[in-house]
Structure 1
């Protein structure tokens, strides 16, 4: 392999004070112990793009066990790829060992080419080639300040070009989640996808079906809950990856409806705004917005067959969520909130009587109200409902009418399971 291109501090302009002191200390101590070590990956990329990194990762030729010898309190984690977590002054630094060539006999690969386990160690040059995108393969020595570039990542970064290392189709098959990472980086970093990297994306969207649903849900959170939801959604649709994550959006017909587009876009904007204002966000609300149209379509059919609005929504919600969790395993703590948001759309239509007003005391009222308000932006017929519930939240007289039923106390059972009485009824006091 050719020697790396060296980018000096004078060329790249990163100030040492921008680096995480804990990550720098990890590198220094590993180097003092005789190992090669660098700050690597997204943190270097983000600094070069003028962004504040969220995490600082370290790569080294020390094995996880050797890292633990240098840092006795380090915790070794992972099966697919072993890592060491080192905590310095309250900061967690992830330390990974350089990975070796992809064709090693010890590698565990599916028939489709997806990597299941990857604990083959190598050199810094081999590790650079094993990384996904060129701009994630920049190795910075915080001691000298130099950046080593083996794959042309610095040139791509200056050109704001996102490019896979190696043959794109092979790299996507190794880990189909790279399809989503490509869409996310294009949106988050404002990059242009290299034509060769983009070429196989749409045809390979189906390979995401091989990814465990729990991992796909983690990726959905990275896509939509990091402050770039709106641009990410545009990127996913541009690369035709949306239905790979949300197959219930059948044949794209829902995504093509103007009302659905507006509802989805408004939900994305709201999420981005809340993150920008350092407010809490939940995937439950976004899932509710994304899947509302298929829920409503099903509910309308059930209502036409005689079900009440609430019953129809209940059945439709259960069906849609059951279909969705087969692709992205939305945890129950979120899916239950999504379901309640949908069902409460029927309850919010009732505005008369104390029972109707009791929804004000529900823990999920605010989320349901926010969702109703979002729907009203593309459906003028909901404006009066929004106005009523907006006033109800502020009117003490209305709130005083709310009936609050105290929950019944469960009687504690003593002595374990109660014995069944004899069939002849004998035996009591």
Structure 2
């Protein structure tokens, strides 16, 4: 049994000497407006509304995090996060469309239709609970300096002040941005033990931006990669979906394999990459090409499509789809493996085989793939055969048009079907099929026939008789007359 990366040093192993950043507030480096490229015309209009309203009510209002980083790099930010010294309830009073969310982090979501502008109060680094290296709660308010030092990487700790239009840097992020380096703020061993998900984010961020990871940071990832199993599996799965949507998933998974992290996240994928097989990496590359070509927004790539892109090359859900297609043709699957239940297979992903040598050292995560996404993926895969039958009857075409998963099936065909799949998807979209209308509902709430057909004879609904309400003070029993 292939067991890569499981020889990692235990968390208590000492790390090589690394550059330590002081965590005390320092004099920031401030770039005035003429010395940087951040312009208000590149900031979302609704985010500007939030920034100006906070400023006009006497609060500090900074654009923070990845939005500032992307604007300085000339990239279009996917979201705009705001930091302020206003507490969550103060922010809520300023915006009627504000909702306070989160347990570990109390955040304000200011909604503009389907768009959400996230507003967070400046925080300082909270110490972990006694006997635990993980930080599980972080609601201690602080200053902008303290908020910068509690962030994960230097390039993500840059602020844009809407009052002075200047960029503020407390941690050397501008220098690392210029050198195209991903570096943790402070000792990487401490920061990764506080939140092991930061190791996954460091690799994903370097792959997406085309940056290199700082030597000390990379050594800490290799030494502490086993700590990733302490993270919430739901958080890990959410990060995996973000990686698949960002347009650099192939490079990210290759780097995760090289760093030894993928062996703890998805051992089957790690083994597939180690065997020099291009099936998985090719599938991820096709998804990246589709995403980077602008053919779909990140939110249009559903979890089912992402799950299939990652897992179908491993042969997990595809076997069940083949078995389902064979059963419709009254054929028996070719092998017993094709009869395997998908839910059991997916639950087994990342499971450990204890009978193999060395397998007991680490127990990889079991990613909690949602059953509804798995069922949706099975429908998408099963529809591929019918979508290739362009000469099918008009009735079947209209039935397919009424399926809620048709758009996902066409996207799958565009991503993984090659030139022929793209032509077939264009053919189906060009048919302009009407979705079958549901049967009209009669006055009694029972589906009936349209005007052209005779109405159905339905039995009238029987009204339920209700008991009269009791009057206050009245007794439910019949009074007994006195003798």
CA distance in 1, matches of 2:406, 2:131: 46
Of residues 226, 231, 234 in structure 2, which corresponds to 1:211? Answer: 231
TM-score by length of 1: 0.73
- Checking the alignment, whether the CA contact within 8 Å between 2:247 and 2:288 is kept in structure 1 is no
Distance 1:261-1:152 versus aligned 2 partners, 3 A rule: closer
Structure 2 partner of 1:401: none
Deviations 1:216-235 (A, max 9, x none): 22212210113333333333
TM superposition shift of 1:204: 2.8
SS for the counterpart of 2:204 is helix
TM-score by length of 2: 0.66
TM superposition shift of 1:307: 6.3
Structure 1 partner of 2:182: 162
Distance 1:307-1:174 versus aligned 2 partners, 3 A rule: farther
Of residues 346, 358, 367 in structure 2, which corresponds to 1:321? Answer: 346
Of residues 44, 59, 68 in structure 1, which corresponds to 2:83? Answer: 59
SS for the counterpart of 1:200 is helix
**Equivalent residues in 2 for 1:274-353, closer than 5 Å:** 275=295, 280-292=300-312, 293-295=314-316, 308-309=333-334, 312-315=337-340, 317-324=342-349, 327-341=366-380
**Equivalent residues in 2 for 1:7-406, closer than 5 Å:** 7-71=31-95, 73-87=97-111, 92-103=116-127, 108=129, 111=132, 113-249=133-269, 251-252=271-272, 256-273=276-293, 275=295, 280-292=300-312, 293-295=314-316, 308-309=333-334, 312-315=337-340, 317-324=342-349, 327-341=366-380, 363=403
- Checking the alignment, whether the CA contact within 8 Å between 1:36 and 1:60 is kept in structure 2 is yes
Larger RCO of the pair (alpha carbons < 8 Å, separation 6+): 2
Distance 1:273-1:235 versus aligned 2 partners, 3 A rule: farther
Segments of structure 1 that go 5 or more residues without pairing to the other structure are 378-382, 397-408, 416-429
- Checking the alignment, whether the CA contact within 8 Å between 1:230 and 1:269 is kept in structure 2 is no
- Checking the alignment, whether the CA contact within 8 Å between 1:274 and 1:281 is kept in structure 2 is no
Distance 1:333-1:310 versus aligned 2 partners, 3 A rule: farther
Distance 1:267-1:311 versus aligned 2 partners, 3 A rule: farther
TM superposition shift of 1:40: 1.2
SS for the counterpart of 2:340 is helix
Segments of structure 2 that go 5 or more residues without pairing to the other structure are 1-24, 351-364, 432-446, 448-458, 463-483
Structure with higher Rg: it is 2
- Checking the alignment, whether the CA contact within 8 Å between 2:303 and 2:373 is kept in structure 1 is yes
CA distance in 1, matches of 2:179, 2:382: 49
CA distance in 1, matches of 2:298, 2:195: 33
SS for the counterpart of 2:300 is coil
CA distance in 1, matches of 2:131, 2:186: 19
Q: RMSD between aligned alpha carbons? A: 4.6
Where is the helix percentage greater, Structure 1 or Structure 2? 1
CA distance in 2, matches of 1:91, 1:226: 19
- Checking the alignment, whether the CA contact within 8 Å between 2:70 and 2:76 is kept in structure 1 is yes
Of residues 29, 36, 57 in structure 2, which corresponds to 1:5? Answer: 29
TM superposition shift of 1:118: 0.7
Distance 1:372-1:150 versus aligned 2 partners, 3 A rule: closer
TM superposition shift of 1:157: 0.8
CA distance in 2, matches of 1:198, 1:208: 15
SS for the counterpart of 1:6 is strand
User: How many aligned residue pairs are there?
Assistant: 391
TM superposition shift of 1:260: 4.2
CA distance in 2, matches of 1:2, 1:82: 26
SS for the counterpart of 1:291 is helix
- Checking the alignment, whether the CA contact within 8 Å between 1:254 and 1:294 is kept in structure 2 is no
CA distance in 1, matches of 2:396, 2:203: 44
Distance 1:109-1:16 versus aligned 2 partners, 3 A rule: farther
Distance 1:24-1:322 versus aligned 2 partners, 3 A rule: same
Deviations 1:318-345 (A, max 9, x none): 3321224972222223111233456678
CA distance in 1, matches of 2:112, 2:278: 51
